[in-house]
Amino acid sequence: MKKTTDENKRRDFLKKFGLSAVPFLLPAVSLNAMSFGETIEEAPAEKKSPVNFIYDGLPLDPDEYLAKLQEISKLKPIEPDFYGDGGATKQLEEEFAKLTGKEKAIYLPSGTMANQLAIKLLSGNNTKVIVPENSHVYRDEADAAQSVHGKRLIPVGEGKAYYELADLKNTIDYLNSNEVFKSGLGTVVIENPIRRTDGTFVPIDTIKEISNYCKTNNYKMHLDGARIHLAAAFSGISLSEYASYFDTVYISLYKYLNATGGAILCGDSKTIDLISHQIKILGGTVFQSWNNTAMALHYLNGIDQRWSQVVKTAQKLVSHLNKIEGVSIVSLQNGTNIYDLKLSNGIGLRNLAVYLYEHHNIWLGRANDKGIVKFTVNESLLTRDYNEILTAWKKGIEHARK
């Protein structure tokens, strides 16, 4: 029975992290036959909470999620909201308004809805909206701006991580000189950090220049800041400073605040007060959201201190691991929590990942087609003694040498 459970767990792990599909894996190895033939000195891995190098946050499973909510409620009973009003939801909104320095904040069921409603309301009757070509708003929101809200998204910065002021000006000049029946430009959008470039951040000077230009020309600005705390932790620019350059800011509750979903939109009262009616029109008004907002509120408390510790710990770990022969971990330009990990041919990724998982409950993802693993750090790094993590990696790498 125990054997079957272990095999199932191993299979689940390989499936979950795509390791069974990596091209250079041992061909046709029977999972049942996979044995490392060694004594495990450490405590059984399943007793330890996972340290994951895959996600922005902690991938809490349903049992862990429920246990966490109970732990939170024991410290201070969670107060429910009623259709988004009161309780944990209101507390979270007030907290985010303070943190971003905006007048108000509101909970929405998804980031997509937050982005779309911000664009719609900020733009008013203007139909044009400038968006980064590689942004979630442009590529991943099912053309909602065009099909639902009557806005025309105009992409800028194709092939670049982010667009510069010059790119924005060129696009606006081009539109102004090449369209006969002019319609107005309402909103300019920036995504920061940028999901499609593995979380790299937009330099603050670029944001400042664009913001000044937009103010001068009376264009509104919206920030898709789904993971803005990560940009803040790695760039040293505070959340309130980032927010100060924008009219509205959206922040995700599930990327690193560990809720099961949800979003917050912050801005001035005039805009935010219009949102709940818009959510209702779209059918997004939910009876209660405290299950998400209480969790997010919990992880929001002390987030800057914890992430500054994550940054330091990650830098130390990367520097130690880079001293090991055959291991290369590099940070990206303007990078946040995602690094590129490459192993020499002499080290088997699959063996390393399976060893780390089985013996230490440390999770590592698959490689892309260039053989690069996106080594992603998050708060789970702080849940284990640093030396234990380093030792696990060192042992795993020696074990995985071919």
Ligand X SMILES: Cc1ncc(COP(=O)(O)O)c(C=O)c1O
Please give the residue ranges that form the binding site for ligand X (CB under 6 A).
Answer: 110-112, 115, 136, 191, 195, 224, 226, 252, 263
Task: Find out whether 105 and 245 touch, Cβ atoms under 8 Å.
Answer: no
The CB-of-110 to ligand X minimum distance in angstroms stands at: 4
What's the burial of 80, exposed, middle or buried (CB within 10 Å: 0-12/13-18/19+)? middle
Do 167 and 199 touch, CB atoms closer than 8 A?
A: no
Per the rule left: phi > 0, alpha: psi between -120 and 50, beta: everything else, 306 is alpha
- Are the C-beta atoms of residues 155 and 133 closer than 8 Å to each other? yes
Max Cα distance, the chain (Å): 76
CB of 198 to ligand X, least distance (A): 12
Minimum Å distance from CB 260 to ligand X? 11
20 or 278: CB nearest ligand X: 278
Long-range contacts of 61-70 (CB under 8 A, 24+ apart): 65/260, 65/295, 68/258, 68/295, 68/298, 69/291, 69/294, 69/295
Toward ligand X, which CB reaches closer, 93 or 191? 191
CB of 188 to ligand X, least distance (A): 16
C-beta of 114 vs 317, nearer to ligand X: 114
Point out which residues pair with 79 in neighbouring strands. Answer: none
- Residue 347 DSSP label: B
Cβ-proximal residue to ligand X, closest one: 111
Q: Based on CB atoms, which residue is closest to ligand X, 279 or 352? A: 279
Rounded to the nearest whole angstrom, what is the least distance from the CB of residue 107 to ligand X in the complex?
Answer: 12
Closest CB to ligand X among 136 and 350? 136
User: What SS3 class is residue 271?
Assistant: helix
What span, in angstroms and rounded, lies between the C-alpha atoms of 209 and 167? 12
The residues with which 106 forms a beta bridge, in sequence order, are 265
CB closer to ligand X, 99 vs 118: 118
Quote the least distance from Cβ 255 to ligand X, whole Å.
7
